[in-house]
Amino acid sequence: MNLKDLKNRNIEYDWKTIFVGVQENYFSKDVISDYAVELMKRYDESGMVNELAWGVCSEDLNRVLLEIKTNYFPQSDEYCEILVYENRKLRFVYLSVLKEECKEGHELLNKIAEFYGNHHYPEEMLSFINYMPSEVPSTKEDLLYRFDEFLKIERARFS
Which H helix or E strand runs over 85?
helix 81-101
pLDDT band at 8 (very low <50, low <70, confident <90, very high): very high
73-88 average pLDDT score: 85
- Whether residue 28 lies inside any domain: the answer is yes
Rounded to an integer, what distance in angstroms lies between the CA atom of residue 121 and that of residue 149? 18
- Whether residue 77 lies inside any domain: the answer is no
Structural domain that includes position 65:
3-72
Lowest mean pLDDT among 74-78, 79-83, 94-98: 74-78
Rounded to an integer, what distance in angstroms lies between the CA atom of residue 126 and that of residue 1? 23
Nearest to 83 by CA among 8, 33, 24, 151: 24
The reply to whether 17 and 66 lie within a common domain is: yes
User: What is the overall mean pLDDT for the chain?
Assistant: 92
Query: CA–CA distance from 51 to each of 2, 33, 61, 76, 130 (Å)?
Result: 20, 9, 13, 24, 45
pTM, to two decimals: 0.90
Rounded to an integer, what distance in angstroms lies between the CA atom of residue 33 and that of residue 53? 4
Domain boundary among 22, 57, 72: 72
CB 65 within 8 A of CB 19: yes
101-128 average pLDDT score: 95
User: How many CB atoms lie under 10 A from the CB of residue 74?
Assistant: 7
Number of structural domains (the chain) is 2
